[in-house]
Structure formats: C-alpha cells, structure tokens
Amino acid sequence: MIPGSFDYHRPQSVSEAVGLLKDKGDEAFIVAGGHSLIPMMKLRMSTPEHLIDIQDIAEIKNISIFGSDVTIGAFVTQAEIISSEALHGICPVLREASLQIADPQIRNVGTIGGNVANGDPGNDMPAIMQALDATFVLAGEEGTREVKARDFYEAAYFTARAETEMLTLIKFTAPAAGHGSCYMKQKRKIGDYATAAAVVILTMNGTTVQNVEIALTNVADTPLYAEEANRLLIGTSLDDASIKAAVEAAKAITDPADDGRGPKDFRTHIAGVMVERAIRQAATTAS
Amino acid sequence: MSKMNVKMTVNGKEIESLSEPRTLLIHFLREDHKLKGPHIGCDTGHCGACTVDLDGKSVKSCMTFVGQANGANVTTIEGIANPDGTLHVLQEAFKEHHGLQCGFCTPGMITRAYRLLQENPSPTEKEIRYGISGNLCRCTGYQNIVKAISMAAQTLNTQEAAE
C-alpha cells in the first residue's frame, strides 16, 4: 500500500514546527513515531499534503524530574519511558503500562506524545495521564497553553488540541511516596489494544484509603476518569463491599463499542474485572 | 510534491537517492537498492518481516518513511553475516535448530534477534518470547526459533568469554 504524496519537513524547533502548522493549515500533520498515522495514510484515510517530522526538536526529547515534578517531552518514546530508572523510581505505573503497548519495534519509535495526543480510545497512556492528573502543554502561534488530561479528550480522535497547535510537554506531580499502582489490561493477544483496561493509583494511610485515582482505557470513545469510584473508595479499608461498590460505579460510566474485542456488555464486564484486579494489585504495592 | 535527497548508511555502505517523501524505508531498501532480505508481510506494522536495525534499534521499515530514516545507520539481514561471508552465529543457530520452515519471517526474525541479544545477551526463554513479540511466524509455532536464539546467545557468550 502506497500513501498519497506529501512534502516532508523536519523542523529544528517547536517554533519552527508551529510556524509550519500555521502556514500549511489543515493540510499539515505532525508525525512522531508514525505508527498510528502511517497505516491511516496507506489506507488513504489520511492524506496530509505536508508531514512535519518532529524528531530533531531537542526540547521535546527529555524526561526531567525535580523532586516530585515530572516533565516528559512529547517525543520521548515508550522504550525510553521503560528504560528510565528515575521515572520508574517515582512513578512505576508508566513502565508497567509501556511494556504492555504493542511490541519492541513499535515501542522504539512510538512516543508518549503521539499516544496521548492522537485521541485514539485504544491508546493506553491517556487514562494513566488522567489518573495522574497530568497537564498537557500545547504550543501554538500565540505561545503555549496548558490543558488538563481530564479535560483534553472530547470524542474519538477529537481533543482540545487545535489543528495549529502541537503537544510539546506532559507535566505531572508524581504520586506520594509509598503509593501503590497498577495498570491492568485485558487484551486478545500480546501487543493488542485493550478489550478493557484500568489504572489505579492508591495511597494508603495505615489500613485506610487516603486517596485513589482510577481511570479506564478503551471502554468509551474517550478515556474515562472514574470520579465516583474514587469517591466510594476513599476512607474505606478496601473491604470487599467497598471494592464492589467502586467496581459498579466504574462499570456504570463505560460505554464501549461492540467490536472484534467483544460485545458491549462483555467489555463493560471486563472493565469491572480489570478495576477490581488493579485495586487489589495496587494495594499489595502500597505502603 | 518535490522529491528529496536521501542519504543513509546501509550495511556499512553510504547510499543516496532522490526519493519521493512518501517512499517507505522498505521500498527504498528493496526497490531502489535491491536489498530483498527485509520482507513485506502484512504491510500494517504487525508482522515484523520488514524489521531492520536503525541507529541501533529494531524498527519496522514498512512503517517508516524514508525521510524519517534520512541520515541514519541501517542494518538489514544482508549485513548480519560476518565480513568474511560466513554466517553469523544466529544464522547458524537458525539453520542448526530448524528455526524456520517457509523462511518468510526469518530475515526479520534474525534481524530482531540480533538486536535483542545486544540489549540482553543472556535472555531467558520468557524474555526471548517477549523480545520477539513483534515478529510473527505462521509456520513453526516459535519453539525452534526460541531455541535457536537461546543457543546463539550461549554460543556468543562462550565466544566472548574465550576472547
């Protein structure tokens, strides 16, 4: 399959990339790893006239950690997330989830920026960014603005990012030391998108839940932040009844599609199973 | 849509072409430079038959535009054998342990295994299976592929210890 023709650009800075986006308008697409975009271009479902390759932009290629403040550049690959010991030390759920994305070759080129900005409901990082309460930095012609991950996703492939903007950085505060976390993903085969997946980030105070953040992947046309499930768990001792109530609250917000991964009811059921397992697993790692 | 000048080092040799930007790396290698080792299997990034080594990382060349690889150092299956023409330890091991049947996935499989053993010189069986999870084989059931990679790792480690 041969994609449609385009002109290729390789800007050296964010401002140059944003300038190109402005000049070329909706005929221009950004390419990072390209493993979502290139298949669409081969099918001619996407036919950009200009492709802006952001691999040379140094300012979006780093993971920086100051205390508990984490900043990840949009061009950081899944492989780089996996190999960062510093990041793993303060936020292990990112390595855990990255290892469940696609396969080694794809993780070598797939970027966190592409994963969160593409708006594909199957992508794993958006729900995790919602659980972490991350902030996305968008660069446009009038400078930068910040959008919360919890406000970013509007519908499948529709996000708060304007066509003339570029995601540059992802920022979040690492969860408290001693937190437990888990990304539980049910998939048909290794490397597949989730049938349903859940992330849980849990902070305990003795035997009581001090804080919990649950979010879901691929059971609606956006990632889902499970606010009510969180509320039902905080202050409990993670007893079976409380977990069951949180699971039901999480299931209640799902609205999955019937597709090759299973009928709607099945996927909602699996979402509940993933939430329960993730809560129990996160509890074993919390101190 | 203008053509672009593309230059890269492939199997140690610098090559240059005037290419349409929509040219995929796999087409650049196979059609422009007659390196028919990397195969086009699924053409959708799933099967890994097109795997090449790009700047020290395994990538799928059917999912890479030539511009993205501009200036890179690329190794294909044609560049894996020893400089004197004898087979690389991995190639020997695939032959010895029957790590292939039809052979279609083999160039991608060996190119991936070549990098895997540099990332992790003594992988467990589980690590080998996980490490080649981006390469599909529809004949062997993987058993002998995993065995071949495991035996190659042992041979390479023994050779290194002897040096």
Q: Report which secondary-structure segment, H or E, holds A222.
A: none
Q: In A, which residues are within 8 Å of B4 by CB distance?
A: 8
Q: Is there a single domain that holds both residue A199 and residue A166?
A: no
> Is residue A1 a part of any domain in this protein?
no
Q: Is there a single domain that holds both residue A69 and residue A125?
A: yes
Contacts of B18 (CB under 8 A, 6+ apart): B3, B4, B5, B6
Q: What is the pLDDT of residue A1?
A: 86
Encode pLDDT of B22-42 as tens digits. 999 999 999 999 999 999 999
d(CA B78, CA B83): 11
Helix H, strand E, coil C: the string for chain B is CCCEEEEEEECCEEEEEEECCCCEHHHHHHHHCCCCCCCCCCCCCCCCCCEEEECCEEEEHHHCEHHHHCCCEEECHHHCCCCCCCCCHHHHHHHHCCCCCCCCCHHHHHHHHHHHHHHCCCCCHHHHHHHCCCCCCCCCCCHHHHHHHHHHHHHHHHHHHHC
Closest residue on chain B to A54 (Cα): B68
Q: Is there a single domain that holds both residue A90 and residue A161?
A: yes
Predicted-assembly ipTM surpassing the 0.85 threshold: yes
Q: In B, which residues are within 8 Å of A190 by CB distance?
A: 130, 133
Closest residue on chain A to B109 (Cα): A105
Choosing among 1.10.150.120, 3.90.245.10, 2.60.40.10, 3.20.20.70, the CATH entry for B89-162 is: 1.10.150.120
Residue A96 has which token pair?
Answer: 């855990």
Question: Which three-class secondary structure state does DSSP give residue A266?
Answer: helix
> Is residue A2 a part of any domain in this protein?
no
Q: Is there a single domain that holds both residue A34 and residue A93?
A: no
Q: What is the pLDDT of residue B139?
A: 96
Per-residue burial over B45-76, b if 16 or more Cβ lie within 10 Å, else e, is: bbbbbbbbbbeebbbbbbbbbbbbbbebebbb
From residue B138, how far is each of A105, A110, B19 by CA, in Å? 19, 26, 34
Structural domain boundaries in chain B? 4-79, 89-162
Describe the strand order of the beta sheet including A166-173 as a list of residue ranges: A63-66, A69-73, A166-173, A135-140, A143-148
In angstroms, the separation between the Cα of residue A79 and the nearest Cα of chain B is 10
> Is residue A13 a part of any domain in this protein?
yes
Q: Is there a single domain that holds both residue A121 and residue A153?
A: yes
Q: How confident is the model at residue B163 (pLDDT cuts 50, 70, 90)?
A: confident
Work out whether the CA dihedral B32, B37, B38, B40 comes out positive or negative: positive
What amino acid occupies position A9?
H
Q: Are strands A180-186 and A196-205 parallel, antiparallel or unpaired?
A: antiparallel
Q: What is the pLDDT of residue A276?
A: 98
Q: Is there a single domain that holds both residue A39 and residue A76?
A: no
What is the full per-residue pLDDT of chain A (287 aa) written as tens digits?
A: 899 999 999 999 999 999 999 999 889 999 999 999 999 999 999 999 999 999 999 999 999 999 999 999 999 999 999 999 999 999 999 999 999 999 999 999 999 999 999 999 999 999 999 999 999 999 999 999 999 999 999 999 999 999 999 999 999 999 999 999 999 999 999 999 999 999 999 999 999 999 999 999 999 999 999 999 999 999 999 999 999 999 999 999 999 999 999 999 999 999 999 999 999 999 999 98
Question: Which three-class secondary structure state does DSSP give residue A223?
Answer: coil
Second CATH level (architecture) for the domain B4-79:
Roll (3.10)
Contact between chains at A51 and B116 (C-beta distance less than 8 A): no
Q: What is the pLDDT of residue B2?
A: 87
Residue B1 has pLDDT above 90, yes or no: no
Residue to test with chain B: of A1, A2, A7, A8, most B Cβ within 10 A = A8
For residue A36, give its domain range: 7-53
Q: What is the pLDDT of residue B160?
A: 92
Q: How confident is the model at residue B114 (pLDDT cuts 50, 70, 90)?
A: very high
**CATH code where residue A198 lies:** 3.30.390.50
Residue A99 has which token pair?
Answer: 């290892």
Residue to test with chain A: of B65, B66, B137, most A Cβ within 10 A = B65
A245 bridge partner residues: none
